[in-house]
Amino acid sequence: MDYTRIEKLREKLKSMRPLNPTELKRLREEFMVENTYDSNAIEGNTLTLRETAMIIKEGITIAEKPVREHLDAIGHKDAFEHMVYLADKNEPLTERAIKELHSLVLMADALNKGAYRRIPVTILGAAHTPPQPYLVPVQMEALIADYGGMKKNTHIIEAVAEFHLRFEGIHPFIDGNGRTGRIILNLELIKAGLLPINIKFRDKNKYYDSFDSYYADGRAPDRLAELISAYETDELLKHISILEQKI
């Protein structure tokens, strides 16, 4: 794939006068709410965008919605904020960092948060069966080791796409893999000087198709890389437009 446009947009954004802390905080909060809604909706959470915002920003309880869905929203918000903290410190991606993020995503499950699964699982309708539980630590260690090479040998978007596809294929946790994986994806994009992306609920089928393509067609991450690239381009253009209006 050709990432020339993204690189040009990244350089243009980098050269522009940045937002002040208050403006940046406002944009990040708006993005975080939308990202929490879409990421949870992909996993079956029924909260609307408005309800998600009310829970996260105002602490309001939605009477007709389950407590678990409220905790999903709060947990994702906390994981997103921790991800930004890790990105700002340029922390390396480690198993410890991944487990920390998962602990926040799965805050409602004290027994399983931050712990690799101990039972075999299947992903209904998927073209791939996750490894047996005893292989999870081994494959996670290998994935993180391989990721260093991916970043050296390919564009960061291809590297994060392949990492994400392999991470979800390992399915290291009993629950919360998708949400945690998408948080990790954004952690790595921000560390690389790009913007976080929000995979929309409306693109759920395209997103899932990228997994089928990867595991059925020779493990090429192209489909997911294309999806990430499109979202990244949109985010860069949006931020550049905002900064140009301030001039």
Share of the chain above pLDDT 90, in %: 92
Q: Is 13 domain-assigned? A: no
Residue 26 included in any domain: yes
How many Cβ atoms from other residues are within 10 Å of residue 43's Cβ?
16
d(CA 176, CA 212): 20
Q: Is residue 11 part of a domain?
A: no
Express each pLDDT in 77-134 by its tens digit.
999 999 999 999 999 999 999 999 999 999 999 999 999 999 999 887 777 899 999 9
For residue 106, is it within any domain?
Answer: yes
DSSP state of 135: G
CA-wise closest residue to 195 among 227, 239, 136: 239
Q: Is residue 238 part of a domain?
A: yes
Burial of 83 (0-12, 13-18, 19+ CB in 10 A): buried
Closest C-alpha to 30, from 87, 77, 69: 77
- Asked whether residue 5 is assigned to any structural domain, the reply reads no
Q: Count of CB atoms within 10 A of residue 108's CB?
A: 17
In order, the DSSP letters of 173-233 are SSS-HHHHHHHHHHHHHHHTT-------GGGHHHHHHHHHHHHHTTS--HHHHHHHHHHHH
Give the CATH number, domain containing residue 223: 1.10.3290.10
- In angstroms, what CA-CA distances link 52 with 82, 85, 95, 103, 196? 19, 22, 29, 20, 19
Instruction: Please enumerate in sequence order all residues whose Cβ is within 8 A of that of 216, keeping only pairs 6 or more positions apart, or say none.
Output: 127
Say how many domains are in the chain: 1
Interacting residues of 58 by C-beta distance below 8 A, sequence separation 6+:
none
Q: Which of 70, 76, 155, 171 is catalytic?
A: 171
Does residue 124 contact residue 164 with C-beta atoms inside 8 Å? no
Q: Is the pLDDT of residue 247 over 70?
A: no
| 114 in a structural domain | yes
Structure tokens at 224: 């997911």
- For residue 136, what pLDDT is reported? 98
**Which ranges in the chain belong to alpha helices (H)?**
4-15, 21-42, 49-58, 67-88, 95-105, 136-153, 156-170, 177-191, 204-216, 222-246
225 lies in a domain? yes
- pTM for this predicted structure: 0.96
* Average pLDDT over all residues of the chain: 96
| Mean pLDDT of the 155-169 span | 98
171 is catalytic: yes
User: Does residue 46 have a pLDDT over 70?
Assistant: yes
pLDDT in tens, 122-132: 887 777 899 99
- The domain in which residue 182 lies consists of 18-246
